[in-house]
Amino acid sequence: MPYINLQMTRGASRAQKETIVREFTDTLVRTLGKKPEHTHIVIQEIADENWGFAGVLTDEYRRGQNG
């Protein structure tokens, strides 16, 4: 039973999430021969203030990009 846990910052649309689930599933079917009905994908959306990289929180980084 494949299980994928995708963590990303908020902002993806429902349509984008549907595409992610479909394409991740297709990849596991095609590459590993897994059955789609046994494939589980969890999308966890993280608030920008709870995600950091390069020494800053994402919300701070994005403010700097827009200012």
pLDDT digits (tens, 9 = 90+) for 7-53: 999 999 999 999 999 999 999 999 999 999 999 999 999 999 999 99
The string over 13-24, giving b where at least 16 C-beta atoms fall within 10 Å of a residue's C-beta and e elsewhere, is eeeeeeebbeeb
Per-residue confidence band for 66, with pLDDT thresholds at 50, 70 and 90: confident
Query: What DSSP element (H or E) covers 47?
Result: none
pLDDT at residue 37, as a whole number: 97
Mean pLDDT of the chain: 95
Instruction: Tell me the C-alpha to C-alpha distance, in Å, between residue 64 and each of 20, 56, 60.
Output: 29, 11, 6
- pTM: predicted TM-score of the whole model, two decimal places: 0.83
To the nearest 10°, the Cα dihedral for 48, 41, 20, 15? -80
